[in-house]
Structures are given as C-alpha cells and as structure tokens.
Copies of this chain bind each other. A is one copy, B any other.
Amino acid sequence: MTMMQRDDGADDMPDLWAGAVDLGALGRSLGFALRRAQAAVAEDFAARFGPEDIRPIQFALLTVLRHNPGLRQTQVSFALGVKRTNFVPLLDELTGRGLAERRQVPGDRRAAALFLTRDGAALLDRLEGLARAHEARFAARIGAADYATLLGLLHRVADRALDEG
C-alpha cells in the first residue's frame, strides 16, 4: 500500500497518489487521459514482451509484414506512423536479428520489398499468444463491450475528417 520509493535509484510512478492531488482541467483532458492509459498499457506490454526483447513498434512491424509480405519500406513505415527516416534503424535491428529481410524489387532498383524470415514468422507465432493475453487483460479490466467501444472511439479520434483543418 505504501507508495514509497524502493531505497535507491528505482522510482516508481504511483498513479495512486494522483488521487490526492486535484488535477483540475486535466481530469477532462483527452491528452492526459491518453497518457495515463498509454503508461498502463505500455507497462503490461513491457512485462510480457520484454523477455523476448520486443518493443511495441517492433511487434507492430512484424505483424504488418506477416499480413502484407512484399510491401515497400515507405509503405510499411507510413502504415505504422513512423517516418521513413526513423524506420531505417528500426528495420535494421530486426534484419540484424534475422527476423525480417529486404528483397530487391524487380521493376525498381531503388526500392526494397520487406518480408518476414522463417525465424521472424516463428517468433511472431509466439508473440501473438502474448499479444492476445495482453489485450485480454484490458478487456477484462473494463469489460469486453467497453473494450470494443474504446477501440472504436480511439480510431475515430485518429481518423480525422477530411474537411477538418
């Protein structure tokens, strides 16, 4: 129950103490609510995928490659919301670990088509089990119906209408 720090270096960030503080308008801030939810989800993800040494964006990349073998680098980076310039080292790490690979594109010698390797596919098989448990945790926390509602609302927030600024 105590929210004290562990002796030395390692802090923790107790969401529990926050209750004692008046957050004012932050309580009605979408950005702040997203931040808190992100932290909770990221913590659970790290606990499950950490032993496999896989971060969220890496899992997302492997998943996109499985469902879209042969996509160009730029297409994948855009789908993930990662600038193509930052995508390079991200992909490099996975290719370096033998999980993904670049292949030449017949018609265009500039382009690289991306594929999962056999090892990458095998790893992803295992990761998908972790992912299901990860999602299930939050579905259980707020209820399956609200979980589905939440996913839909988040995507509606992200999918800006074309007539908006």
Contact = CB atoms under 8 A, between A and B. Distances in A.
A108 interface: no
Contact of A21 (B22, B30, B31, B75): B75
Contacts of A34: 34, 37-38, 41, 154
Interface of A: 3, 11, 13-15, 17-18, 20-26, 28-42, 45, 56, 60, 63-64, 66-68, 71, 75-76, 78-79, 81-85, 128, 131, 134-135, 137-138, 141-142, 146-147, 149-151, 153-161, 164
Contact of A141 (B35, B38, B164): B164
A15 B158 contact: yes
A26 B64 contact: yes
